[in-house]
């Protein structure tokens, strides 16, 4: 019985450590991103003006006028 109790205690402690590590990693990732300078996709940084094909669409990393963040928007070529 003591062995079972000890095993359950160890399993719960390991679960708590894993949850805390995942939370800390997510917080670190959030602190390392800078949406004012980069767009992000699949944990990669892309600078303003970058183009990327996502599914069947061409997307561009652009500055928004209503916020300070760069975002992915559907690419619209400039008309000359």
Angle at 36 between CA 52 and CA 67, to 5 degrees: 100
**Rounded to whole angstroms, how far apart are CA atoms 8 and 16?**
12
Compute how many other C-beta atoms are within 10 angstroms of the C-beta atom of residue 61. Answer: 21
pTM, rounded to two decimals:
0.56
Which pLDDT does position 59 carry in this prediction? 96
Which pLDDT does position 62 carry in this prediction? 95
- Per-residue pLDDT tens digits of the chain, which is 80 residues long: 555 444 444 444 444 434 444 444 454 455 678 888 999 999 999 999 999 998 889 999 999 888 789 999 999 888 76
CA 77 to chain centre: 28
Which pLDDT does position 34 carry in this prediction? 87
């Amino acid at each position: 019985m003591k062995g079972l109790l000890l095993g359950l205690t160890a399993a719960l402690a390991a679960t708590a450590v894993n949850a805390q590590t995942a939370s800390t990693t997510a917080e670190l990732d959030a602190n390392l991103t800078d949406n004012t300078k980069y767009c992000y996709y699949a944990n990669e940084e892309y600078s303003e003006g970058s183009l990327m094909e996502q599914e069947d669409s061409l997307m561009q990393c652009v500055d928004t006028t209503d916020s300070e963040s760069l975002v992915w928007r559907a690419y619209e070529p400039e008309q000359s």
